[in-house]
Structure 1
Amino acid sequence: MRERTRLAVLVLFWVVCSAALAGALPLEIKGKVHDQYGAIGVERVERWEKLVWDITYQNTADQLREVNRFFNQLQFRTDLEHWQQEDYWATPVETLASNGGDCEDFAIAKYFTLRQLGVPAKSMRITYVKALRLNEPHMVLTYYPERGEPLVLDILVEEMLPASMRPDLEPVYSFNAEGLWKAKNRGEETRLGDADDITLWRDLRVRLGLGSL
């Protein structure tokens, strides 16, 4: 657990702080990945590295599309199956190197990757919803453009769609680095407080070395 935590801190230091050097993943991090996940884990992380490098100068719509497609290729695995825990929010590198995760892990990985690419935190929300067709809780990443309706990045649907085209999702609450909101009616919400009020999010940020930034 200690080594996994150290790896998480190193990787997210790169993800959050080195947008100007996108793609320059330190060898120390690749060594840590290799120790824990083998050569195939390093290969997966290097594909992430290449993705960021390739789309750094693309427009936001293309970045959203490519990041959504990239993470949707990973295997869906429940926390109990994958991490032997009832509920665990993995860091992006854990999700990538282990080649899998659940809906929370994919939404988180998409969020941090897009943050590195320069998409503002205020333009994105990690959104907890009820998947009506599955009758179970689910999590997606929602992007809010300056004009037009929100776009939903989801592992259940390959294509990124406007929120109005996802009547199968019932929003419950959403959050980002700037706050926590509860959904009222569709399109209406009320602010509840800070995202760090969510224990799993706070724990994830501590493991990433981000504290309360």
Structure 2
Amino acid sequence: MSSPFAHLRRWIFLLCLLTLPAWSGWDFDKLVKLAQQRYGATAAKLVADTQQVLSASKTLAEAEKLKRVNEFFNRRLQFQDDSTIWQQTDYWATPLETLGKGAGDCEDFAIVKYFALKELGVSAEKLRMSYVKAKIGGSNSTVTQAHMVLTYYPSPDAEPLVLDNLITEIRPASRRPDLTPVFSFNSEGIFTGSGVQPSGSIDRLSRWKDVLLRMQSDGIAF
């Protein structure tokens, strides 16, 4: 005869199954179908090519994953302003939207790379989307503009590597004197300075929260 504890364990197990998400990561079957419906055959092929690249990169060393993802999106996506793509002054696109248009601005490049690397098993703790002031025309220029890059921290207190849509070579931050950090964030929170722990909640970033919600309906969840 089974004990009351056995019944309790079964109920707990069933409850866990019901509360777990059905999947996590990129649902490529759904993404390809949505890309075809919303944007056409060219977009669907780009999503399928993304799936192929990520699938082939899963067993690579982490440094090679960074290189593969950075080069793929820098090569396959065009840089365009939000006003051209979305007829808005500042719009943060989901990865599906960016792949669908085949183009994006600096935020869109950083976002799609972030979630591609998470799909490859790179921890969110190592990845941050970093707002910077970029010197236009080189490190000695006095002209700056807002820019976003993806930064990768091999360890919490390590010098970050910079994945940029403007320069495909991945360089340590010390070799990017043209960039001045402002703040950074990921799915865990907002970071200021060189802190290893979030100093604020992502609730303060309404555009980021909106992207995360739209991504789930697209077919990407974490």
Q: Same fold by TM-score, threshold 0.5 exceeded?
A: yes
Other structure's SS at 1:152 match: strand
Structure 2 residue corresponding to 1:93, chosen from 83, 96, 99? 96
Does the 8 Å CA contact 2:162/2:173 hold for their aligned counterparts? Answer: yes
Distance 1:181 1:208 in 2: 23
Distance 1:143 1:181 in 2: 13
Other structure's SS at 2:129 match: strand
Unaligned 5+ segments in structure 1 are 1-12
Distance 1:117 1:25 in 2: 14
Aligned to 1:204: 211
Does the 8 Å CA contact 1:52/1:117 hold for their aligned counterparts? Answer: yes
Aligned to 2:184: 174
Structure 2 length normalisation: TM-score?
Answer: 0.79
2:119 is the alignment partner of 1:119:
no
Deviates more, 1:117-126 or 1:127-136: 127-136
Other structure's SS at 1:193 match: coil
Unaligned 5+ segments in structure 2 are 1-20, 137-142
Q: CA deviation at 1:179?
A: 1.3
Distance 2:72 2:203 in 1: 28
Paired positions, count: 191
Other structure's SS at 2:182 match: strand
Distance 1:181 1:198 in 2: 12
Aligned to 1:145: 154
2:50 is the alignment partner of 1:40:
no
Aligned to 1:9: none
Does the 8 Å CA contact 1:182/1:189 hold for their aligned counterparts? Answer: no
Does the 8 Å CA contact 1:182/1:190 hold for their aligned counterparts? Answer: no
Distance 1:18 1:87 in 2: 26
Distance 1:151 1:30 in 2: 31
Other structure's SS at 2:40 match: helix
Of the two, which has the highest radius of gyration? 2
Does the 8 Å CA contact 2:43/2:101 hold for their aligned counterparts? Answer: yes
Show CA shifts across 1:147-174 (max 9, x none).
7421000011110000100010000010
Q: CA deviation at 1:33?
A: 1.2
Aligned to 2:173: 163
2:63 is the alignment partner of 1:61:
yes
Aligned to 2:6: none
Does the 8 Å CA contact 2:31/2:96 hold for their aligned counterparts? Answer: no
Aligned letter for 2:174? S
Other structure's SS at 2:191 match: strand
Aligned to 2:86: 83
The 3 A distance-change label for structure 1 pair 123 and 188 is closer
Distance 1:104 1:206 in 2: 17
Aligned to 1:51: 53
Q: CA deviation at 1:25?
A: 2.2
Other structure's SS at 1:36 match: helix
Q: CA deviation at 1:38?
A: 1.0
Q: CA deviation at 1:120?
A: 0.5
Distance 2:44 2:152 in 1: 29
Percent of matched pairs sharing the same residue: 44
